Structure 1
């Protein structure tokens, strides 16, 4: 099985954001800071050594969210991030629970509701600036 896992970047908010996602999605969160890997010896500013070099939130065998802080010595800025979550009608309770949690402090662009194509679909920007798309497949047609 191949998994494709989103990797989200922030500037100084990775730990807080990843802990928030753990509170919403559950799972096991592992965090490594720049200090854990040498800190200033890696070129990281003293004020940024406790920032997250890598975090992994393992929710299930198929759901892994990763993230990190983008230190100032690396050129560029973190870009707009987007994460999509989709699942079958059988997982609607879990997916709606995740949507409700992610909605805390978020800007909802499209409420999670029945879409013209038969699925339930919603879009929001969470309080950490990450865009989330949630799609719940419509119930299978009766045979």
Structure 2
């Protein structure tokens, strides 16, 4: 069965960002560097940059990321958000609390007109997130 997973691009911050997301979501983090594969970067000082990383959380989330080496154009994320939603109020509140540390709250995590809870933030690595607690069924 196919899957759809966010793949984040960073400029020299993928390792720190993915370690942060592992702290937020838990799970197993696998990291491969450019230096593990001959000829992947032109500048040997970039050998320790992340070529590919994958975080698989106990809840089944899969988040991937890589650094952008100097031989490629880096574009900061824009026009998209990673959304986490569901009915586990404690888990979602925990994700919100950790992601918002040293980040910027765009819309506080609170009760919107449609019920439940909803908030938007930009984390310390410049990634936009939306956290949504499902409204209780009537």
TM-score, structure 2 length as denominator? 0.92
The Cα of 1:119 is off from its aligned counterpart by 2.5
Q: Give the 5 Å matches for 1:1-143.
A: 2-38=2-38, 41-60=39-58, 62-80=60-78, 82-88=81-87, 91-141=88-138
Q: Answer whether contact 2:24 2:95 (CA < 8 A) is retained.
A: yes
> Gapped runs of 5+ residues in structure 1?
none
| Matched residue count | 137
Q: Contact 1:28–1:57 (CA<8 Å) still a contact in 2?
A: yes
Task: Describe the superposition over 1:17-38 as per-residue Cα deviations: whole angstroms up to 9, x where unpaired.
Answer: 0001101110000000001112
**In 2, Cα distance between equivalents of 1:6 and 1:140:** 29
Q: d(CA) in 2 for partners of 1:64 and 1:106?
A: 22
Q: Structure 2: where are the runs of 5+ without partners?
A: none
